[in-house]
Amino acid sequence: MSAADLSSLRGRHIVLGISGGIAAYKSAVLVRCLVKAGAEVQVIMTPAAREFITPVTLSTLSGHAVITEFFTANTGEWHSHVDLGLWADAFVVAPATACTLAKMATGVADNMLVTSYLATRAKVFVAPAMDLDMMAHPSTTANLDTLRSRGVDIIEPAEGELASHLRGRGRMEEPEAIAAALARHFAAAGSLASRHVMITAGPTRERIDPVRYIGNFSTGKMGYALAAEAARRGARVTLVSGPVSEPVPAGVDVVRVESALEMLDAATRAAAEADICIFSAAVADYRPARPLAQKAKRESADRDITSVELVKNPDIAATLGSARRPGQVMVGFALETDHEAEAATAKLARKHLDMIVLNSLRDPGAGFGTDTNKVTMYFADGRTPVATTLKSKADIAADILTQTISLT
Ligand code: C5P
């Protein structure tokens, strides 16, 4: 059997709840497997689980102190079940005994594991492990049905020899298979298969005459990184690009434009079919009111220009944001120098967007022309903003798309 692709586990926060059953020894292998795949694992044990495996083994493998009690006995330090529940991208209970499943189904929050389960917003998985008769008992079946109906994923136990030496259904699934189930979940959650994504990128150029223009320093790197990442996740991608020298990423359809008016035209066309629109272009706010058909000349009195009258360009994001179809997701960018959060959230509302990505200008390595960036994402639905660290534009693109997908 070939090893499962666990790459989607990289960087994920996983809470592993261990309840008291013989299969708890396999949880050590599960921690190892998840950590090796790049996940961060925080273990919570029920008091009974400590009879089967020691917290020392699990804290060593996970690199985090194991939590079993609401308080640390000697210091009185309170362990917040809410923080852990919110930290988790996935919450896995393995092994899940008949008792823990019953408590989860009925909300009996008398230990840290069940309490954290009740506080989490993450996807929950349970890997039942018990004797065959307990597994087949109507109360266990009913509890599993209740959990399933609430969106919990049951990683079905396998048939085989049980701790009682009886043979039957109730063996906890192997750690590698549990890790693979989590990886499949994250891979599917991050997928853009069968989605159409439209991205505007780069600067625009507004002609003064046939050889001169008004432009800006945008290199298009962020928009091109987003296009590459969306294509990698299986999307059909239309990249409406101003003049830049970035190579077009594999699998991306590019529509090249020069001015803001051309970009508006191409973006409007692409948005008509797109499920997601991302406006990362640095569109020139103004264009010359009357571009000259002939080159301006200092030595020719009728073509000597010392000033250029400007008119406002249309706001592409705001135009398409207010004309959006139901279900269409719209994401914009903001680059601010002062009152950043207020300015970004005001723009989010004014342009009818779902999310706005604030570029930090304060951090060296963030913004125009660099290969790295650091952003904060603000949401129209009022959820807590998400801030990234300084990292490559490819990694920032992955973070932006992960948040975007959560809005679809
Ligand atoms: O208003 P401001 O230019 O700061 O807004 C930035 C956001 O709006 C970006 O997402 C940018 O791509 C978009 N925008 C646009 N058309 C304009 C100006 C900005 O799509 N004319």
Residue carrying structure tokens 């991208």: 89
Start-end of H helices in 75-190: 81-87, 98-106, 112-119, 132-136, 138-149, 175-189
Pairing assessment for the beta strands 375-379 and 355-359 based on DSSP bridges = antiparallel
Dist CA 144 CA 339 (whole Å): 50
Q: Which atom of ligand 1 is nearest to the CA of 332?
A: 10
107 sits in the region (left: phi over 0; alpha: psi -120 to 50; else beta) called left
Residues 173, 182 contacting (CB under 8 angstroms): no
Digitized pLDDT (tens) for each residue of the chain, 408 residues in all: 457 889 989 888 999 999 999 999 999 999 999 999 999 999 999 999 999 999 999 999 999 999 988 776 666 677 776 788 888 989 999 999 999 999 999 999 999 999 999 999 899 999 999 999 999 999 999 999 999 999 999 999 988 888 888 888 999 999 999 999 999 999 888 889 889 999 999 999 999 999 999 999 999 999 999 999 999 999 999 999 999 999 999 999 999 999 999 999 999 999 999 999 999 999 999 999 999 999 998 888 777 788 999 999 999 999 999 999 999 999 999 998 889 999 999 999 999 999 999 997 777 777 666 888 999 999 999 989 999 989 899 999 999 999 999 999
Catalytic residue among 74, 111, 143, 216: 216
Map residue 78 onto helix, strand or coil. Answer: strand
Ligand 1 pocket residue status of 283, Cβ below 6 Å? yes
Q: Which of 315, 319, 336 to mutate to test the pocket of ligand 1 (most atoms within 8 A of CB)?
A: 315
Residues 6 or more apart whose Cβ sits within 8 Å of residue 356: 331, 332, 333, 334, 344, 345, 347, 348, 377, 378
Ligand 1 pocket residue status of 287, Cβ below 6 Å? no
Query: How many C-beta atoms surround the C-beta of residue 291 within 10 A?
Result: 15
Report how far ligand 1's centroid is from the alpha carbon of 152 (Å). Answer: 41
216 is catalytic: yes
Ligand 1 pocket residue status of 317, Cβ below 6 Å? yes
